[in-house]
Amino acid sequence: MFDIRADCSQGFVGINYVTSWRGSAAMKSVFRTFSLVSLAAAAALLAACGASSSGGGSGAVAPKSVEAAPPASGCGSYEASLPKDPDGLVAALPPKLKALYKGYPTPIRKSVWSGWKPKHDPPYHVGIQWAQVNNDFQRNVTETLKADLEKDPDVGKVTFQSTGNNIDVVAELQQLESLIRSKPDIIVLQELQPKAFVSSINKAGKAGIPVIVAIDSIPETKYAVNLQYNTFNAPASVASMTVRQMGGKGNVLMAHAIPGIGVDTEAFRGFDAILKNCPNIKKAEGAVYGNFVNAIGKSETLKYLATHPEKIDGVLSTAAITSGMMSAFEQTGRPVPPIADTGASKASLAFWRDNFDSYRGSAGIVPEVNIGSSLAGVVKRMLTGNGVEFSDIVGDIPLVTDSNLDDWVEDSWTFQTPGDPPGPTGFLTESDLDQFFRSSKAGE
């Protein structure tokens, strides 16, 4: 693919050639002699460079490759201790799984459901209460969860409810109360505001109905079984790479998902832990709010950039709007700065690959298909009476760096490719999941 590009920092225009995969030779610019028409286009591009520069621009930093592992000190380092573990559960885990709990915000206790089993023989009724289903993550998790449960011969009925495309806590609470009244054997819940759902989870628990809470939040109730990625450590790990790509200095734009939900609150706690050790990085005035939707992320970023001409050297984002933000920067003629891409998309990874000569990324893959399977695995293990030992089960978020980008992005993907990457690995294997249950034979 050929396109005319301007390098504003060097004052030239050339034709850039990019192949469908990243290679040291493939990503170099190839310059050609311009015709008179091309020279006119070149002059226009250089004029645009000058206009951007005089208007403030973003001044993206020179590309810099970094490793995934955070440094022991300095900018990019952060403190992430293991949570309180009064029952010694985390301490007994294999090192790989134990490490996933670093920085986790709440104590890990023995589950009140460790000795639970259904009151009757199969078939069982599983209720799924979800929030909005408005992006690939939400669709892929719920479709995998439902499909895995419906294939289980012991599950006779799966009731699925959601708030559709709407983020509506009140409506979801009403749906959950109705689901509880139908007396399913077990419930899987995705809720957006932890405290709002505590009373309903307690009501279900006292009625003998376990509630498995999926991903986004950590309710303050003993009756929940929380299946999470580490919503502090995963974003902090990605942000560590981003601030090092920035060279430890400059202005960083903060991008929220939905303010007040658990995953957003914990991600920003992780970002603050990173920025604490980066005295030469300042938060840019204001913030972007993307609601986990790329189209919203783009429109909100466009609004932000239109009213904030100051230089932006990096972005720390909760999740899932990176390609929208990239598009906004490009549309306004400002270089795309390093973005902490937790919840990377096919488009954002393709942009990274195709612009490897001018952009360095950092990403965390939220492996939604594996998360859906893991949720189903928890349900099936509990229904067979294997006994969940942990109040909180934490899975892995694989990190993407320059060195392993090719493992995660496919040749056919472009910046217009919709959807999220399935990835080669991620979250929890079946043998990993067994470690959180009383019987190591669970699920066989």
Q: Which two tokens stand for residue 2?
A: 């050929």
Phi, psi (deg, nearest 5) at residue 72: -75, -25
Q: What is the 3-state secondary structure (H, E, C) of the chain?
A: CEEEEEECCCCEEEEEECCCCCCCCCCCCCCCCCCHHHHHHHHHHHHHHHHHHHHCCCCCCCCCCCCCCCCCCCECECCCCCCCCCCCCHHHCCHHHHHHHCCCCCCCCECCCCCCCCCCCCCEEEEEECCCCCCHHHHHHHHHHHHHHHCCCCEEEEEEECCCCCCCHHHHHHHHHHHHHCCCCEEEECCCCHHHHHHHHHHHHHCCCCEEEECCCCCCCCCEEEEEECCCHHHHHHHHHHHHHCCCCEEEEEEECCCCCHHHHHHHHHHHHHHCCCCCEEEEEEEEECCCCHHHHHHHHHHHHHHCCCCCCEEEECCCCHHHHHHHHHHCCCCCCCEEEECCCHHHHHHHHHCCCCCCCEEECCCHHHHHHHHHHHHHHHHCCCCECECEEEEECCEECCCCHHHHCCCCCCCCCCCCCCCCCCECCHHHHHCCECCCCCCC
Taking only the tens place, the pLDDT of each residue in 330-379 is 999 999 999 999 999 999 999 999 999 899 899 999 898 999 999 999 99
How would you write the pLDDT of the chain (444 residues) with one tens digit per residue?
A: 334 444 343 333 333 333 334 443 333 333 323 333 333 343 344 334 433 332 333 344 445 789 999 999 999 999 999 999 999 999 999 999 999 999 998 999 999 999 999 999 999 999 999 999 988 889 999 999 999 999 999 999 999 999 999 889 999 999 999 999 999 999 999 987 888 999 999 999 999 999 999 986 677 899 999 999 999 999 999 999 999 999 999 999 999 998 878 889 999 999 999 999 999 999 999 999 999 889 999 999 999 999 999 999 999 999 889 999 999 999 999 999 999 999 999 999 999 999 998 998 999 998 989 999 999 999 999 999 999 999 999 999 999 999 999 999 999 999 999 988 877 678 999 999 999 999 754 444
Taking only the tens place, the pLDDT of each residue in 65-109 is 899 999 999 999 999 999 999 999 999 999 999 999 999 989 999
Phi, psi (deg, nearest 5) at residue 240: -60, -40
| Nearest-angstrom CA–CA distance, 365 and 164 | 25
pTM of the full predicted structure? Answer: 0.81
The amino acid that residue 373 corresponds to is: S
Q: Which two tokens stand for residue 333?
A: 């003629």
Res 167: pLDDT: 86
Q: Which two tokens stand for residue 273?
A: 């832990």
Res 141: pLDDT: 94
Closest alpha carbon to 102 in 125, 70, 128: 70
CB 209 within 8 A of CB 221: no
Res 216: pLDDT: 67
Q: What structural domains does the chain harbor? A: 1-55 (no CATH), 56-77+233-364 (3.40.50.2300), 90-231+367-434 (3.40.50.2300)
| Nearest-angstrom CA–CA distance, 259 and 288 | 11
Phi, psi (deg, nearest 5) at residue 274: -70, -50
Pairing of strands 2-7, 12-17: antiparallel
Closest alpha carbon to 19 in 441, 354, 392: 354
